[in-house]
Amino acid sequence: MNTSFLLFALLNPAFALLAAPLYMALIRKVKAYAQGRKGPKLFQVYYDLRKLMHKEAVYSPTSSWVMRLTPCLNLTALLACSLFVPLIFVPEPAGGFGNVIVFLYLLALERFFTALSGLDAGSAFGGMGSSRSMSLAAVIEPTMVVAFAALAFVLKSLNLHEMFALTAGSLLPASPTLVLVSISLFIILIVETGRLPVDNPATHLELTMINEAMILEQTGKNLALLELAHAIKQLLLMGVLINTILPIGLSAEADAGKIAVSALLFLLKAGVLAVVIGLFESALAKMRLFRLPAFYMMAFFFSALTILIEVFA
Amino acid sequence: MLEALAYGAVFALVSGTVLPLLYRSKNARQASFGLSLISSVLLLGFAGTVLYTGKEPSFPAFGFLPGLDFTLAADRLTAGFVLLIAAVLPGVSIYSLEYTEHAKSEARKALQAALTSLFVLAMLLVVLAGNMVGFLIFWEIMSLSSLLLVLHDYSSEENKKAGFFYFVMTNISTTFLFLGFISLYRLTGSAEFGPLEYPAGALTLPFLCLFIGFGVKAGLVPFHKWLPYAHPAAPSNISALMSGVMLKVAIYGFLRFLLAAASPELWWGVLILIAGSLSALFGVIYALKESDIKRLLAYSSIENIGIIFIGIGLYVIFRVEGLETLALMSLAGACFHAFNHALFKSLLFLCAGSVVHATGTRNIEAFGGLVKTMPATSALFLIGSVSIAALPPANGFAGELLLYQAFFQASALSANPLLTVFMVIALSSFALTGALAAALFVKLFGITCLALPRSEESRLAEEVEKPMLFGPAVPAVLCILTGIFSKQILSLAGWDIEFPDLLLLGLLLAFIYAALFLAVRAKTEIPDRISETWGCGFPALTPSTEYSSAGFSEPLVMIFKSIYRTRIVHRPEYFDGQESLFKNGHVEIRLLRFFEEYLYIPPALAIDSLSKRVAKLQNGKLDSYVLYAFLAVLTLIIATGVLV
């Protein structure tokens, strides 16, 4: 363990925890503007989380310890994930943190337990949510793995820290093929965070819900933990995309001034990305469930194309 | 000293076989399983020493037939698989203490106990065999003892069919092994497992024969159909041994050949990788549709065997391409996954045995709510599910991580672009398999253990007796430990591979969880409440409104509907020849059993009609038999005259 990594281990999760809810709100705001509404305040998600934290948890009599275990476990997995994606500066790698595959499977851990807790209460909604979520996750998984394999391929490392140390500081992506990977990463971001056209985070209709259906039974502080975990997941995937396509300003040194600049620039870049996501969501309608594999194939195509170009170039 | 450990283990297992047959009492059976436990401790010492120090024990050769000696031998590969046996055995033995007592009659209890020890002994000796003769002899004993165990409940028609299926398949496997070993013997002139230094092409026939022979036994697609038949028929402790250990013995045999071959060829690796990927994918896809808990686990074994073969295929490809580090990583991944699968699959089969015992059915649709009625079994079941779904930091993840790392670095193959493209396809199919397995085990655990009981049996299920909890607890603890200490284990085994430290990750996860849990609890002002939640507008939540197993996998069935082909069969009968007066009929809609209907049945029918024609020779007349004998002698004389 080096000091650079220890500093990172303290700052990066804290930054992720604090900044994540902001972008949930920002996307909502953008969508509201696009629909001609004013939308909630930028800090509304923070207020909501605080309100939920003060509320009691209500459990269905059919539910078991699986449901009680899941909220903390999910946030744990995502906080551990936040050690894998450099948001404010790139540390020297240590202890295998940053390994792409471990990162992907920590996300799988979160999904697994969310799906189980969806089944736990025995309501048809929860079961439907976990069934759909696991099915779609299975179909997107090859795309995710191949996209990250393409990233590893282009940046010649298995470690996200080492990858982004290579791109850090430069204005443009390290290789033109990274633009192609970025398209895949954007689609993965949309899919994994349950946004349109895959899932609609704003409705509670049985026909459209996936992620919301699974956590429908969760209440109070548990819901707050799950929402926070979801927000961090979104921020981390945004971080991967931003570091790939627009690494400008990302510091590779643990220097206070540089970290501050890096963090501010990240907040700004993530803000732009959140606006893009909001507009993207507003422009599209929800796709039929069984049309989604075709949408995923598009992301798969761009990642596979990257590898092909790298191989034959 | 080392030799004494191995002999001690063999002796314990031999006594474990004989004892329950001599004395038909509960004590004798308990003693038999106790002896298995002792032998597993001895084997642990033996295998650990060989693996760690690399010291190879020397066993004296027994003259068996003139020119054919029978020896035992152990190198590090052997030790790895002996360790696997030693790791699975304790859990199964403790579980069997109680489980065997549920058999129908005294004779069956005694037979089951004796055959279990014999089965383990045979598997151990296959792995320890120093040459082909011993290998084949114990291979047959292993196959036959497991056949008898599959036929344990021989009165049911379904089990008889399963036993027959298994018998045919295992004989096909042995036939190909004989062919493979004979062709090797012709090449080398020796029955030893020596290094095979031959130019490319010379080993084609032995490779193909051994690949099919071991592939059938390991359950590789398309030779896999015996697994989903044999596992539901066999008692659960035997399923645990068969799936956990016997399939790995086949892997061991295949690896022994591949590691000995000095110059494997690229197409071997590609063939193994394709077969592995298809097995993994088809295994999990068929498992998703299955609602018989033991058959589902059998399909999942096919999937995991596929993953092990993917590792072996990668090893061959990287070795041929001269990438030693990646080859080592893939081989370590294959071996480690074999070991891990032995642990979590035996755990899952033992838990399934407990669930089936408590509810009296194997149908997942009838389970539910077991987390309340059988809390300890459910917790163990969850550990198994988390491990097999390859979630960090359990052991299933550690093995797959090695394979992913090898795949991700396939860019090193840049000298051969087409091969890299092939690797990308294999990688995406591997990733799909992994995610489908996660979906499968969410379904299995979620439908079996969570929500409301879906049947009266499940509602009234009671937690099983202590030995049936302590038994699976052993592999459960090992699953977690081998996952967390995977880096340390790999370096102890002498594999210096770049690998993230899962111990650190595990500690970190535990620390964050504890901190979050305490923080949330400290902040809680109003205590938790248990109350009715939204029941989708139904007046009361009943099991019939819950998601079922078939419902859960429906989206995936829709997505992969080109693989799950349904077949509609009409068989109407009429009173008259014009087919106008309907008499009776049979209609069924079922899943197309592709491999059976297109691959297994046609050759079986051909053999059947051929044997019917041959049977005509047997007409019962003495004079024609004399004629046959005369013709046979005549042919023989002419043949020797022409050939010599």
- Taking an 8 Å cut-off on Cβ atoms, the answer to whether A101 and B405 are in contact is yes
Give the count of alpha carbons within 13 A of B314, CB side only: 35
| Residues on chain A touching B429 (C-beta within 8 angstroms) | 142
Residues on chain A touching B498 (C-beta within 8 angstroms): 158
Note whether B205 and B119 are within 8 A (CB).
no
3-state secondary structure of B644: coil
pLDDT band at B410 (very low <50, low <70, confident <90, very high): confident
The rounded distance, in Å, linking the Cα atoms of B230 and B226 is 6
Question: Does the complex come out with an ipTM higher than 0.85?
Answer: yes
Question: Which region, left, alpha or beta, applies to residue B368 given φ > 0 means left and ψ of -120 to 50 means alpha?
Answer: left
Chain A residues with beta carbon closer than 8 angstroms to that of B516: 72, 75-76, 79, 225
Whether residue B528 and residue A66 make contact (CB cut-off 8 A), yes or no, is no
CB–CB contacts below 8 A, A to B: 247
CA dist B314 → B31, B197, B273, B339 (Å) = 44, 21, 7, 18
Of B369, B208, B364, the closest CA to residue B292 belongs to B364
Whether the upstream peptide bond of residue B90 has omega within 30° of 0, thus cis, is no
**Radius of gyration of chain B measured on its C-alpha atoms:** 27
Note if the bond before B572 is cis, omega within 30 degrees: no
B428: nearest CB among A65, A124, A145: A145
DSSP state of A251: B
- Distance CA(A280)–CA(A195), nearest Å, equals 10
B376 touches chain A (CB under 8 A): no
Contact between B134 and B217 under an 8 Å Cβ cutoff? The reply is no
**Residue B584 β-bridge partners:** B573
**DSSP 3-state assignment of B360?**
coil
Which tens digits make up the pLDDT trace of A119-146?
988 888 888 889 999 999 998 999 999 9
Over the stretch A21-74, which tens digit does the pLDDT of each residue have? 999 999 999 999 999 998 888 899 999 999 999 888 889 888 899 999 999 999
**The Cα angle at residue B138 between residues B86 and B228, in degrees rounded to 5:** 75
| In chain B, % of residues over pLDDT 70 | 98
| Mean pLDDT score of chain A | 88
Mean pLDDT of B238-259: 93
> What is the pLDDT at residue B414?
66
B71-90 residues touching A, CB cutoff 8 A: none
* Polymer length in residues for chain A: 313
A228: closest CA of chain B, how far (Å): 12
Closest CA to B84 of B380, B360, B329, B399: B399
For A147-160, write each residue's pLDDT tens digit. 999 888 888 888 99
Residue of B nearest to A79 (CA): B512
Q: Tokens in use for B622?
A: 């003495």
Task: Tell if the CB–CB gap between B451 and A152 is shorter than 8 Å.
Answer: no
Q: Which of A119, A162, A209 to mutate to probe the B interface, most B CBs <10 Å? A: A119
Distance between CA A8 and CA B91 in Å, rounded? Answer: 43
Q: What part of B 485-514 touches A (C-beta under 8 Å)?
A: 487, 498-502, 504-505, 508-509, 512-513
The residue ranges of DSSP E strands in chain A, in sequence order, are 58-59
**Helix, strand, coil fractions of chain A, as percent rounded to 5:** 70, 0, 30
Q: Give the containing element (helix H, strand E) for B221.
A: none
Q: Which residues of B touch A308 (CB under 8 A)?
A: 421, 424
CB neighbourhood size of A147 (10 A) = 29
Mutation target among A105, A151, A156, A207 for the B interface, most CBs of B within 10 A: A105
**Of A99, A151, A158, A225, which to mutate for an interface test with B (greatest number of B Cβ within 10 Å)?**
A99
Quick check: A201 pLDDT over 80?
Answer: no
Query: In terms of Cα–Cα distance, which of B554, B614, B74 is closest to B288?
Result: B554
B571 phi/psi in degrees, rounded to 5: -135, 80
Query: In degrees rounded to 5, what are phi and psi of residue B156?
Result: -85, 145
Chain B residues with CB under 8 Å of A158 CB are: 405, 408-409, 498
Q: What is the mean pLDDT of chain B?
A: 89
Gap from A89 CA to chain B (nearest CA, Å): 21
Among the listed residues A230, A57, A62, the one whose alpha carbon sits nearest the alpha carbon of residue B521: A57
Q: Which of residues 213-242 of B touch A (CB under 8 A)?
A: none
A146 and B438 in contact by Cβ < 8 A?
no
With tokens 């090859």, the residue in question is: A142
Of B176, B180, B172, B174, which Cα lies nearest the Cα of B206? B180
Least Cα distance to A239 among A164, A307, A184, A298 occurs for A164
pLDDT in tens, B332-368: 999 999 999 999 999 999 999 999 999 989 999 888 8
Closest partner residue to B528 (CB to CB) among A56, A95, A308 is A56
Considering only CB atoms, B450 lies closest to which of A64, A75, A132, namely: A64
Inter-chain contact A146–B532, Cβ cutoff 8 Å? no
Mean pLDDT for B413-436 is: 87
Distance of CA B416 to the CA centre of its chain: 34
* Residue B378 to residues A287, B350, B384, Cα–Cα distance (Å): 37, 12, 10
Closest residue in B to A152 (Cα) is B408
Chain A residues within an 8 Å CB radius of B522: none
Task: Spell out which residues of chain A touch residue B427, defining contact as CB-CB under 8 Å.
Answer: 142, 145-146, 149
Candidates A108, A76, A57; CA nearest to B517 is A76
* Chain B residues within 8 A of A65 when measuring between CB atoms: 371
CB B365 within 8 A of CB B452: no
**What's the start-to-end Cα distance of chain A, in Å?**
38
Answer whether B345's CB lies under 8 Å from B300's CB: yes
Which residues of chain B have a CB within 8 Å of the CB of A106?
Answer: 392
pLDDT of residue A208: 67
Helix (H, G, I), strand (E, B) or coil at B45: helix
What pLDDT sits at residue B499? Answer: 86
**Which residues make beta-bridge pairs with B73?**
B58
pLDDT at B582 over 80: yes
pLDDT at residue B301 greater than cutoff 90: yes
> Between chains, do A83 and B508 touch, taking CB under 8 Å as contact?
yes
pLDDT score of A13 more than 80? yes
pLDDT digits (tens, 9 = 90+) for B140-183: 999 999 999 999 888 888 889 899 989 999 999 999 999 999 99
Say yes or no for a CB contact (<8 Å) between B431 and A62. Answer: no
Which residue stretches of B360-416 are H helix?
370-373, 375-388, 395-408
Given A53, A152, A206, which is nearest B408 (Cβ)? A152
Tokens matching residue B19: 């004892």
pLDDT tens, residue by residue, B26-73? 888 999 999 999 999 999 999 988 888 888 888 877 766 666 777 888
Residue B280 forms contact with A (CB below 8 Å): no
From chain A, the residues in CB contact with B502 under 8 A are 96
Burial string for B296-317 (b: 16+ CB within 10 Å, else e) reads bbbbbbbbbbbbbbbbbbbbbb
Does B24 have pLDDT greater than 90?
no
Distance separating alpha carbons of residues A75 and A55, to the nearest angstrom: 18
Q: Collect all residues of chain A within an 8 Å Cβ-Cβ radius of residue B405.
A: 101, 158
Joined tokens for residue B562: 């080109």
Taking every pair of C-alpha atoms in chain A, what is the biggest distance, in angstroms?
A: 61
pLDDT for the residue numbered A207: 65
Among positive and negative, which fits the CA dihedral B598, B603, B606, B608?
A: negative
Structure tokens at B25: 């009492």
pTM of the model: 0.93
Kindly report which listed range (A170-184, B158-172, B360-374, B495-509) carries the lowest average pLDDT score.
Answer: A170-184
- Work out the average pLDDT over B234-250: 93
Whether chain A has a CB inside 8 Å of the CB on B446: the answer is yes
What average pLDDT does range B490-508 have in this prediction?
Answer: 86
**A103, A188 Cβ separation under 8 angstroms:** no
Structure tokens at A175: 């290789």
User: Which residues of chain A make contact with B546, given a CB cutoff of 8 A?
Assistant: 122-124, 127
| Chain B (556-595) residues lying within 8 Å, Cβ to Cβ, of chain A | 556, 558-559
Query: Half-sphere exposure of residue B381, counting CA atoms within 13 Å on the CB side?
Result: 28
Instruction: Enumerate residues 6+ apart whose C-beta is below 8 A from B460.
Output: B373
Contact status of B522 with chain A (Cβ, < 8 Å): no
User: Does pLDDT of B578 surpass 90?
Assistant: no
Q: Which of A50, A107, A134, A292 to mutate to test the interface with B (most CBs of B within 10 A)?
A: A134
Q: Are B427 and A149 in contact (CB under 8 A)?
A: yes
Residue B586 dihedral angles phi and psi, to the nearest 5°: -140, 125
Compare B586 and B541 and report the one with higher pLDDT.
B586
Cβ distance of A119 and B446 shorter than 8 Å: yes
Nearest CA distance, A109 vs chain B (angstrom): 6
Question: For residue B456, what are the contacts with CB-CB under 8 A and spacing of at least 6?
Answer: none
Interface contact A137-B429, CB threshold 8 A: no
- Residue B632 confidence (pLDDT): 93
Residue from the list A65, A137, A310 with its beta carbon closest to the beta carbon of B435: A137
